[in-house]
Amino acid sequence: MKSIIFILSLGSIIILSCSHQKKEMGNPLLSDYNTPKETIPFNLIKTEHFAPALDTAFKSGRIEIDGIVNNEEPANFENTIEALERSGKLLDNITHIIYNLNNAQTDSAIQALVKELSPRLSEYQNDITLNEKLFVRIKTVYDNVDRTDLTSEQNMLLDKTYKSFIRNGANLGEKEKKEYREITKELAGLGVQFQENLLAETNEYTLQITDSADLSGLPPDAIKAAAAEATQRDLDGWVFTLKYPSFIPFIKYADNRELRKQLYIAYNTRGLKENENDNRKIVKRIAELRIREANLLGYDTYADYILDDRMAESSKNVNEFIDRMIDAYLKPAIKELADVQEFARSIGFSYELQKWDWYYFSEKLKKEKYSVDDQLIRPYFKLENVRKGIFDLAYKLYGITFVENKDIPVYNPDVVAYEVYDHDNSYLAVLYMDFFPRDSKQQGAWKTDYIKQYKADEKEQRPHVSMVFNFTEPTENKPSLLTYEEVRTFLHEFGHALHGIFTDVTYSSLSGTSVYRDFVELPSQIMENWAEQREWLDMVAVHYETGEKIPEKLLQAIINSKNYNIANWSVAQLGYGMIDMSWHSLEEPYQGDIVEFEKNARSRTTILPPIEGTAMSTSFGHIFSGGYAAGYYGYKWAEVLKADAFSLFLENGIFDKATAEAFRKKILSKGGTEHPMKLYIDFRGKEPSIEPLLEQSGLKNKS
């Protein structure tokens, strides 16, 4: 079995098991790809091609499994474990395409296809992991093989395969297996419905403004974008939406407090209304089914089940980690809040700060303290310049280059495709970049794969990696200008992409980002550090009109403000982790009010007054339509790793090639071939410490 993994910062993630095999002529999905680097022929594929291609792929995958099960030769690593790993590659390819399109370029036909496909894939996976004869062969190999005859990667594949079958019901009785099938099939459908409802809820809301006085405080670019949105919708005035490039500027800059409140509440009640997009019943049902799934497999809670296969290892360890992090961040966060409240009062604000006030006054205080805000910075971060700067950074660190190839088919005109070459000019990967929002795309930013890297039959398949964003679009008069946070997001997803690009393993199920979920954010988060480094910023930040480098005063202001209100941001992240752990630590189904559930779950991290009637669970795609269930803590967990790891770059130089090469060789290229702590210690020489994170965050000795 293998997995499609969508990696996000601020969006949803889908994981599903699938596989693939030899192609046939005819349908472009079943024919050899006559394209550069055998990239997917998006220009030829039509939605109606998917159904017959899937039928063929499912059939061929089942034939391959039957071949393994009915092999009369005694079970060994090659004819059982490796054969299973190699099986079903056609299904793997096709489902990668479908699910990636459903996230980045969907329509009603693709959504209908995914609704039908997800339970079908669940059934296919169950037919494999619940196959008694197949498991007997796997267990025979696991119990009897001479481990010294296997490479470390082969040993990892054997362990992962055996454990995967156990964790997916292979040891259950017939009655329990039937129930397990029903649970996993229903969960697959619910995850798709959750995601579809969230996209619809995000797209359907608009805030129309017809009085120009209500635009007070907003940046000119945000006003122009809102006017264009109104024109596109045949409406008068200006239209703001819940998409990030529209929502964030309004919350940060609009002087009209009531409209900020209206937009904030709309964003934080997605999936929480009594309409066709209501996700409340779905959330509760998913949580209930996960409890039952965990119980069937011998665990008290779903969190116990998930964390048994993570670096953190147990709910106890995760909760202790969250507690330690709260102890470090809470007092500084309360002080940050007091500073913003005091500032607000000093300029005439007489109310208690609410959540729709926090971003507004926080941004004003930041400008006063550091003489910097997004609107001063954005002219220096033209998207094309940032992209070049990130490519140049990759060249300085790793010697790799990116060559645009306009002959590679893409699924939307906004997408740009590159061939990636190593320092010796050998081919490494294809990289797709998809930058701007549209109604057919989920919110957030993520990295995913269309084709994963693996080696077979003396041939290596190099990866085809995709990065998807929702950056501010260019206008008729201006190019796309990024906020500082968008620059960090670009670097973050690029780190995930490098993890995929550099992978150098034998088996696709262990390649690239196929690692423990609480380790996968290290390669992404470590890249964010360069956004705080003078040497890199000086390379990248060039005014889009004048071509002048960013002034020293503004550059220093960015560096000085890098930890501004970092404790509040961290406490909020920890609160999300507590919501996640609360849902997945349940031992009995929850039938109460979701708003109250959340309020109780993250009460320790509540600094600003809770807003009645709002909740994030119904739009928390990471945990209810993706792969971060009982794993959202992993973002903060990985922050500890990335700060500790980056301290080596700070010691040796932020462009030090030897340090970068060690990070590539010992972490990025290894995928999931070894335990992540071993990989980390091989790179760093020791286990990670929390001290570098506190020091780099400016919070050491402040908690």
User: Phi first, then psi: what are they for 669, rounded to 5°?
Assistant: -80, -15
At 459 the three-state DSSP class reads strand
Using CA atoms, how far apart are residues 510 and 506, in angstroms rounded to an integer? 8
Residue 66 token pair = 């039957």
Among candidate residues 481, 442, 507, 430, the one with its CA nearest the CA of residue 155: 507
* Cα dihedral sign, 502-505-507-511: negative
As given in the structure block, the two tokens for residue 437 are 């929002």
Q: How far is CA 519 from CA 388, 569, 671, in A?
A: 28, 21, 10
3-state secondary structure of 454: strand
How many DSSP H helices and E strands does the chain contain? 27, 12
Active-site position among 64, 196, 363, 493: 493
Instruction: Determine the distance from the C-alpha atom of residue 227 to the mean position of all C-alpha atoms in its chain, rounded to a whole number.
Output: 31
Q: Give the integer Cα–Cα distance in Å for 431 and 40.
A: 12
Q: Are 527 and 536 in contact (CB under 8 A)?
A: no
Can you tell me the distance from the alpha carbon of 522 to that of 77, in angstroms, rounded to the nearest whole number?
A: 32
* Tokens standing for residue 410: 């893409």
> Using CB atoms within 10 A of its CB, is residue 596 exposed (0-12), middle (13-18) or buried (19+)?
exposed
For 210, residues 6+ apart whose C-beta sits below 8 A from its C-beta are 236, 237, 238
Q: Is 82 a catalytic residue?
A: no
For residues 493 and 447, is the Cβ–Cβ distance under 8 A?
Answer: yes
* Alpha-carbon span 460 to 446, nearest angstrom: 25
Instruction: Note whether 472 and 531 are within 8 A (CB).
Output: no
Q: Which residues participate in catalysis according to the annotation?
A: 493
